[in-house]
């Protein structure tokens, strides 16, 4: 049977999406080992997963316009090359500073992977099969989340933390070969537009200051950074409305379905992203499990997501996607309500129930919400829509981990994370879950607002 170029597009998108998330989801298993080797305190340790996501948030919008101007396939190839280079660099690091520098570079590669892979699927696949194709791409994301704890836990426990970074390289090399040999097309939507360098600079500095300040709200510098960051983001929005070739088309937010879906995505990831780290710390520091056993336990949520996401994608082609999204977030909220009481005496079966509900809820939310975002814009704006949903995801994840860093620094100061401070870790986790529960409820209302909007979805591709 002949394999079509569309099939290769879906496969490459699946693999690149998988490995863009693989280290983001799995590196938490290696964080204790990395922190021990480089003698990091709890604040620096929490920056290991956070710093790459922060860079993704900064570079997502530039990646959207660059991929639209020069081609999504070409941008995806560049992203893969950067990611491979950064993975090798992280493996060869011998100081905290060098390691975190290569995590920064890796974040740049991740930004291009996230935007270009999704945009290529939307532009290359028949509109009637868009939800199904996006479902497979999102399944790659969730499958990475399900397999990475087990694989990374095994690799860290048996071969050391560097094995996680070496593991991704051959798969990404395969994607490079397939893109060069089996995907002949290229997709450009902003070919005649100029690169908005000023807009990128304003946005990049603004989001960097805002998120960095958000993680340091206990001191004056943090508040100053947040205020300046917000001011720059407001300036960015105004500037983009008045420039000929904007880095991001702010007028897309006039469509309430687009706006509400993006707000829901931001809030959902802010509320949910920290849960994996909380459970990882709970298992390794509070219950004294090793990385391998912890990884096996953490497989529950993402594998449920991976099973549900494709079917949710199909349903979102037939049922209003924001109805599914609101229902999914309602289920995910129950997870946080259960974890509000997480401590050393919480029965394992109750934790498992919470993880299953999280998987079901996020599986029902993410693919329909992504379909709602991508379907609410004209064909030309597909890269912008892809950049928006990627930005919401990474900003939400970064703020979630930033919230974790903030609360841990507030409660624990500069203490090193260890079993000796299990009570403090439990206290920090409960406070984070309390805040995230409120944010999760906001995500539900955002989806409900989109359902009531009179704006329509654009099904012409």
28-85: pLDDT as tens digits: 788 888 888 888 877 788 788 878 878 887 887 777 777 777 777 888 888 889 999 9
pLDDT tens for each residue of 112-150: 887 777 777 776 666 666 666 666 776 777 677 667 778
E-state strands within 319-410: none
Q: Nearest CA to 134 among 116, 146, 118, 114?
A: 118
Buried b (16+ CB within 10 A) or exposed e, 206-233: bbbbbbbbbbbbeeeebeebbeebeebb
- Check pLDDT > 50 for residue 446: yes
Q: Which residue has the tokens 């707000």?
A: 263
Cα 41 from Cα 425, distance rounded (Å): 14
| Rg, C-alpha atoms of the chain | 21
pLDDT tens for each residue of 86-121: 999 988 888 888 999 999 999 898 888 877 777 777
- 257 neighbors 393 (Cβ within 8 angstroms): no
Cα 230 from Cα 67, distance rounded (Å): 27
- 66 neighbors 116 (Cβ within 8 angstroms): no
At 174 the three-state DSSP class reads: helix
Please tell me the predicted confidence (pLDDT) of residue 1. Answer: 45
pLDDT band at 459 (very low <50, low <70, confident <90, very high): very low
pTM, full prediction: 0.71
Give every CB contact of residue 188 below 8 A, 6+ residues apart in sequence: 68, 69, 70, 71, 72
């Amino acid at each position: 049977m002949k394999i079509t170029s569309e099939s290769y597009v879906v496969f490459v998108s699946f693999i690149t999406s998988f490995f863009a998330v693989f280290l983001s989801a799995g590196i938490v298993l290696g964080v204790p080992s990395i922190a021990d080797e480089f003698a990091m305190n709890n604040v620096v340790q929490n920056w290991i997963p956070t710093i790459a996501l922060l860079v993704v948030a900064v570079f997502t919008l530039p990646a959207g316009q660059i991929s639209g101007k020069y081609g999504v396939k070409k941008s995806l190839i560049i992203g893969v090359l950067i990611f491979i280079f950064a993975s090798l660099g992280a493996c060869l690091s011998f100081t905290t500073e060098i390691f975190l520098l290569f995590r920064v570079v890796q974040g740049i590669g991740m930004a291009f992977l996230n935007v270009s892979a999704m945009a290529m699927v939307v532009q290359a696949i028949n509109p009637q099969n868009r939800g199904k194709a996006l479902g497979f791409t999102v399944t790659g994301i969730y499958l990475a989340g399900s397999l990475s704890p087990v694989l990374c836990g095994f690799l860290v426990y048996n071969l050391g933390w560097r094995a996680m970074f070496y593991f991704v390289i051959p798969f990404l090399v395969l994607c490079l070969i397939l893109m060069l040999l089996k995907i002949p097309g290229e997709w450009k939507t902003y070919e005649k537009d100029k690169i908005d360098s000023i807009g990128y600079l304003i946005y990049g500095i603004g989001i960097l200051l805002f998120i960095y300040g958000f993680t340091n709200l206990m001191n004056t510098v943090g508040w100053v950074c947040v205020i300046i960051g917000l001011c720059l983001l407001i300036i960015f929005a105004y500037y983009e409305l008045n420039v000929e070739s904007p880095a991001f088309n702010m007028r897309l937010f006039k469509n309430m379905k687009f706006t509400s879906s993006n707000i829901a995505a931001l809030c959902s990831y802010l509320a949910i992203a920290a849960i994996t780290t909380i459970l990882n710390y709970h298992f390794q520091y509070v219950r004294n499990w090793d990385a391998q056993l912890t990884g096996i336990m953490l497989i529950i949520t993402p594998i449920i997501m991976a099973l549900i996401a494709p079917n949710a994608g199909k349903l979102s082609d037939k049922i209003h996607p924001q109805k599914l999204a609101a229902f999914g977030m309602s289920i995910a909220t129950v997870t946080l309500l259960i974890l509000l009481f997480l401590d050393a005496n919480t029965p394992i079966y109750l934790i498992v129930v919470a993880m299953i509900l999280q998987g079901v809820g996020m599986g029902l939310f993410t693919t329909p919400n992504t379909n709602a975002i991508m379907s609410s814009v004209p064909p030309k704006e597909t890269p912008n829509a892809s950049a928006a949903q990627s930005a919401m995801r990474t900003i939400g994840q970064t703020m979630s981990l930033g919230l974790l860093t903030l609360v841990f620094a507030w409660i624990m100061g500069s203490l090193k994370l260890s079993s000796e401070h299990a009570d403090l870790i439990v206290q920090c986790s409960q406070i984070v879950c309390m805040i995230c529960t409120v944010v999760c409820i906001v995500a539900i209302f955002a989806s409900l607002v989109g359902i009531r909007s009179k704006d329509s979805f654009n099904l012409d591709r």
